[in-house]
Each structure stands twice: as structure tokens, then as C-alpha cells.
């Protein structure tokens, strides 16, 4: 018998520093009008020097655990999605597991670019469906500002830092009704960031910066999110009109609007916060989910469509039936890095 799963807690963390479009005008050849017309972004968050993917992930995870009223020691597994880890290894998930005191949990990372959180959530629900685990923490955390070329106006206006997390538990009603995950590795060079393992003879390049073919990615993103949403809706035995809220990857407002138009969905049915946070890659969906909950946009029985795309090229969607989560709780003090990374 398949075990149902539900999200029992949602957390988010964004750094204190706000980088506005006006700030970027002083750094690179761009303007507030140019940025907003092409991306919809007004401002984004940039991590402090002593923050890492793991410290931001710990912060978001604590909020999710507090809302779910789950002791970290009761977690079975920590899955972390990131493309900007503290280092090559250990996994960011292991650092988060240690920082939380989740002494009974296993931990591993998922790197599927901006589809990372959805991949981690799908993995968590499958562990629960088989009865292998009962409580899993899924974190999406990114420190993209450290792999952005701040002289490249096509990318530096988009990417930013932040973390989101959910606690997934067995039992109850609701949960995933369907999900799809896809990849086309032939498009890898249209959106990528190099790393030390790909550099011959150990030679260090000027930087492992994000590189993106914006025009290609725009066309791909709209087609991919449209098709993935339709596929997952059909798998769930639903119609597009049955979707109460879409929580898309917050990459670009034009992509989100073009996707809702392609789906015949009213634009107000999509959760949007890219204007305030930019593209936080694998953190964008859980951050948007937390804010959707805070805004009272999640109701019992709602059918939510999570949909995303990213470098790989990868794309996917999940239809999730919502059940209520716990009350809003105070946010803990920010976590800062130590010599061990926790």
C-alpha cells in the first residue's frame, strides 16, 4: 500500500542585504527600466561574507521544523538541492544535518540546477510512499552571487541568494498527485557554470561564472514549463482548470507570464515574487511557497502546480494537493559560518 505524504512545515531565509536595480546601474551598463522590462526584477538579496549555502539552509530549515513541530532528532533524512555548495564535499545536506542536530538522519545533495528542489521533493515523497522513511527535510539553498560575473549585465541582474525548506511527513490526506522530471543534456552549453573538476591540469580560470544564452533559454523555458504542467495535470487525472495555484520557478516575470498565457491560465493564478528576490535557482519554489502561505493563498484541498526548468537542460512539474500547515512562528537568529562550515 502506498503511503501518502504531506508538507507539514515551510521555511525560508533571505540575506539582509538588498541589491536594487539602482545599485546595479552604478556597477554595470544597465538601467532599472531595462531590467524590469526584460526580467521583472526590482531587487534581489545578496549573502554576507560569512554566509554559505549551508548556513542559509539551516536558517530556512529551522523555520520549517518549528512550524511542523518536528524535533530535528526525529528526522530520517535531509535532502538538499543546491548548485552553489560550500565546497566540493562534504554535502551541504550533511552540514545542515549537523547544524540542526539531526543526529538520526541520513543526508545527501541533489544538483539539478533550478529543478533541484522539485527533484528533492519528488525523491522525498517516494521514500515515504515506500514506507522507508516517515519524516524528511528538503532544502533548496543557493549562494549564486559568488558565481555571477558582475560585469555581465545579462546574468548579474537575475541571480541572487536565499534558501527555502519544507518538512515532508507520512500520513494524512493530500500530497503529490503526480510529477514529471525531464532532461536534455544536449542543451547543457546554453546555461551552465564551470567548476574546478572540469579544469585541466588543475589550472584555475578567472572564475566559475554562470553563462547563459538568454534567448535560447527563454524559448526553452516557456515550452518546457507549458508541456511539463500539461503532462503532470494529465497524469493526475485533472484538467488545467482544476489547478488553484501555480508556483513556478522564479526566473523571469516574462517567462512566467508567457507560460500562464500558453496554458490559458489567468496570470493572477501564478505566485510571483521574482520582483523582490530575483532568481534563487533551487530556492525559488520553496521561498515562493512560504510566501504564498503567508499571504493566505493556500487552502485545504487546493491543487498546486509546482513547475520549473533549469540548466542541464532540465525541467519538471508536480501537482500537489494541499493540507493545512501549522501557525506562523518567530524566525530564529541568523546562522553564521564557522571554521567547519556550520
Averaged pLDDT in 10-residue chunks for the chain of 342 residues = 91 98 97 98 98 98 98 98 96 98 98 98 97 98 96 96 98 92 97 80 69 97 98 98 98 98 98 98 98 97 98 98 73 47 41
Same domain, 134 and 187: no
Query: Is residue 307 one of the residues assigned to a domain?
Result: yes
> What three-state secondary structure class fits 327?
coil
Paired sense of beta strands 314-321 and 175-183, if any: antiparallel
> What three-state secondary structure class fits 324?
coil
At 195 the pLDDT is 84
273 is catalytic: no
**Which long-range CB contacts under 8 A does 126-134 form with residues at least 24 apart?**
127/76, 127/77, 128/3, 128/4, 128/5, 128/168, 128/169, 128/170, 129/2, 129/3, 129/4, 129/5, 130/3, 131/3, 131/170, 133/76, 133/77, 133/170, 134/76, 134/169, 134/170
The overall pTM is greater than 0.85: yes
299 is catalytic: no
CA pair distance 206, 199, nearest whole angstrom: 11
Same domain, 127 and 14: yes
Query: Is residue 44 one of the residues assigned to a domain?
Result: yes
Query: Is residue 326 one of the residues assigned to a domain?
Result: no
Helix (H) or strand (E) holding 168: strand 161-170
Helix (H) or strand (E) holding 126: helix 116-129
Same domain, 192 and 314: yes
248: left (phi over 0), alpha (psi -120 to 50) or beta: beta
Query: Is residue 125 one of the residues assigned to a domain?
Result: yes
Of 21, 252, 279, 342, the catalytic one is 279
Strand-by-strand arrangement of the 161-170 sheet: 5-13, 161-170, 135-143, 77-81, 106-110
DSSP 130: T
Point out the domain boundary residue: 173, 194, 210.
173
Same domain, 27 and 83: yes
Query: Is residue 60 one of the residues assigned to a domain?
Result: yes
Same domain, 96 and 199: no
Of 114, 156, 252, 342, the catalytic one is 114
Point out the domain boundary residue: 173, 189, 211.
173
CA pair distance 329, 11, nearest whole angstrom: 10
Query: Is residue 338 one of the residues assigned to a domain?
Result: no
Nearby residues of 224 by Cβ (< 8 Å), 6 or more positions away: 182, 309, 313, 315
Q: How many domains is the chain built from?
A: 2
Same domain, 165 and 182: no
At 197 the pLDDT is 74
Paired sense of beta strands 191-193 and 303-310, if any: unpaired
Same domain, 161 and 299: no
Same domain, 38 and 130: yes
Query: Is residue 23 one of the residues assigned to a domain?
Result: yes
Same domain, 202 and 271: yes
At 339 the pLDDT is 38
Q: Find the radius of gyration of the CA atoms of the chain.
A: 19
Same domain, 169 and 94: yes
Residue 298 lies in domain:
177-321
CA pair distance 145, 134, nearest whole angstrom: 35
Question: CATH code at 81?
Answer: 3.40.47.10
Point out the domain boundary residue: 148, 173, 198.
173
Same domain, 216 and 118: no
Spell out a b/e string for 221-258, using b for 16 or more CB atoms within 10 Å of the CB, else e.
Answer: bbebbbbbbbbbbeebebeeeebbbbbbbbbbbbbbeb
Same domain, 37 and 151: yes
Query: Is residue 341 one of the residues assigned to a domain?
Result: no
At 275 the pLDDT is 98
279 is catalytic: yes
At 331 the pLDDT is 43
CB 56 within 8 A of CB 163: yes
Amino acid at each position: 500500500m502506498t503511503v501518502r505524504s504531506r508538507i507539514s512545515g515551510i521555511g525560508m531565509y533571505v540575506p539582509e542585504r538588498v541589491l536594487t536595480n539602482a545599485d546595479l546601474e552604478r556597477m554595470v551598463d544597465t538601467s532599472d527600466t531595462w531590467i524590469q522590462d526584460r526580467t521583472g526584477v526590482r531587487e534581489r538579496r545578496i549573502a554576507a561574507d560569512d554566509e554559505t549555502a549551508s548556513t542559509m539552509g539551516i536558517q530556512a530549515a529551522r523555520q520549517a521544523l518549528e512550524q511542523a513541530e518536528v524535533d530535528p532528532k526525529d528526522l530520517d533524512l535531509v535532502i538538499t538541492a543546491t548548485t552553489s555548495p560550500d565546497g566540493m564535499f562534504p554535502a551541504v545536506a550533511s552540514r545542515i544535518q549537523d547544524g540542526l542536530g539531526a543526529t538520526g538522519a541520513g543526508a545527501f545533495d541533489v544538483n539539478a540546477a533550478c529543478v533541484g528542489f522539485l527533484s528533492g521533493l519528488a525523491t522525498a515523497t517516494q521514500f515515504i510512499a515506500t514506507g522507508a522513511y516517515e519524516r524528511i527535510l528538503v532544502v533548496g539553498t543557493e549562494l549564486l552571487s559568488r558565481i555571477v560575473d558582475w560585469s555581465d549585465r545579462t546574468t548579474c541582474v537575475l541571480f541572487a541568494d536565499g534558501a527555502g525548506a519544507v518538512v515532508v511527513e507520512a500520513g494524512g490526506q493530500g500530497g503529490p498527485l503526480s510529477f514529471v522530471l525531464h532532461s536534455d543534456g544536449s542543451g547543457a552549453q546554453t546555461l551552465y557554470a564551470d567548476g574546478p573538476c572540469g579544469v585541466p591540469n588543475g589550472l584555475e580560470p578567472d572564475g566559475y561564472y554562470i553563462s547563459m544564452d538568454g534567448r535560447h533559454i527563454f524559448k526553452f523555458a516557456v515550452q518546457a514549463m507549458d508541456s511539463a504542467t500539461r503532462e503532470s495535470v494529465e497524469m493526475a487525472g485533472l484538467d488545467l482548470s482544476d489547478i488553484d495555484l501555480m508556483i513556478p520557478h522564479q526566473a523571469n516575470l516574462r517567462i512566467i507570464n508567457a507560460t500562464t498565457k500558453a496554458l490559458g491560465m489567468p496570470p493572477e493564478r501564478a505566485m510571483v515574487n521574482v520582483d523582490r528576490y530575483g532568481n534563487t535557482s533551487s530556492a525559488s519554489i520553496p521561498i515562493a511557497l512560504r510566501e504564498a502561505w503567508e499571504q493566505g493563498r493556500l487552502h485545504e484541498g487546493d491543487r498546486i502546480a509546482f513547475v520549473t526548468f533549469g540548466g542541464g537542460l532540465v525541467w519538471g512539474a508536480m501537482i500537489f494537493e494541499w493540507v493545512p500547515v501549522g501557525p506562523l512562528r518567530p524566525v530564529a537568529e541568523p546562522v553564521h559560518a564557522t571554521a567547519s562550515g556550520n
